[in-house]
């Protein structure tokens, strides 16, 4: 079984086509949408976890590429710089996946990397630039 987090970039002429549906129906793949931005007549971006048997996964990725979808691994690596963080908690209510939480015992902001979908909201909002991204 293969499971990866991916960024799919749909050209504007593909945003109204059932491409992800075909991944399920024709390639037996499971998906979990982590983030989506789809607007008519604009490029669509879909961040998802895609899972399936190795051969099905490979065939599904080839199908996406053949259709004109750009497929990229979610390789952005978000991290917390503890030296910069002052545990103000500004980031906590804005994190859509609860990757940032405040420890009730210590009042320290904790970063749970496994929950992060690299949406970059924390990077934009942190006044101390404690959240960083590696490309």
| pLDDT score recorded for residue 75 | 63
Say which residue, 135 or 111, is predicted with more confidence: 111
Say which residue, 129 or 118, is predicted with more confidence: 129
| pLDDT score recorded for residue 120 | 86
Paired tokens of 30: 């499971």
Answer yes or no: is pLDDT of 135 > 60: no
| pLDDT score recorded for residue 60 | 97
| pLDDT score recorded for residue 35 | 83
pLDDT digits over 86-112, tens only? 999 999 999 999 999 999 999 999 999
Q: Do domains 2-73 and 77-134 have the same CATH topology?
A: yes
Paired tokens of 65: 């590429």
pLDDT digits over 28-82, tens only? 999 999 888 888 888 888 889 999 999 999 999 999 999 999 998 876 678 999 9
Paired tokens of 12: 């504007």
What class, spelled out in words, does domain 2-73 have in CATH? alpha beta
Strands 70-73 and 30-37, sheet pairing: unpaired
pTM, entire model:
0.64
The CATH code that applies to domain 77-134 is: 3.30.70.20
| pLDDT score recorded for residue 123 | 92
Residue that has been written with the tokens 């079984």 in this structure: 1
Segments making up each domain of the chain, as ranges: 2-73, 77-134
């Amino acid at each position: 079984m293969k499971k990866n987090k991916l960024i799919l970039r749909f050209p504007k002429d593909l945003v109204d086509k059932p491409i992800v549906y075909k991944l399920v129906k024709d390639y037996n793949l499971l998906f979990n949408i982590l983030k989506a931005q789809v607007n008519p007549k604009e490029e669509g971006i879909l961040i998802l976890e895609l899972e399936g048997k190795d051969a099905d996964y490979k065939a599904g990725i080839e199908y996406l590429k053949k259709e004109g979808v750009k497929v990229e691994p979610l390789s952005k690596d978000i991290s917390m710089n503890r030296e910069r963080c002052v545990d103000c908690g500004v980031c906590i209510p804005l994190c859509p996946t609860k990757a940032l939480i405040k420890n009730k015992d210590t009042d320290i902001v904790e970063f749970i990397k496994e929950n992060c979908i690299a949406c970059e909201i924390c990077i934009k909002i942190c006044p101390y630039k404690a959240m960083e991204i590696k490309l």
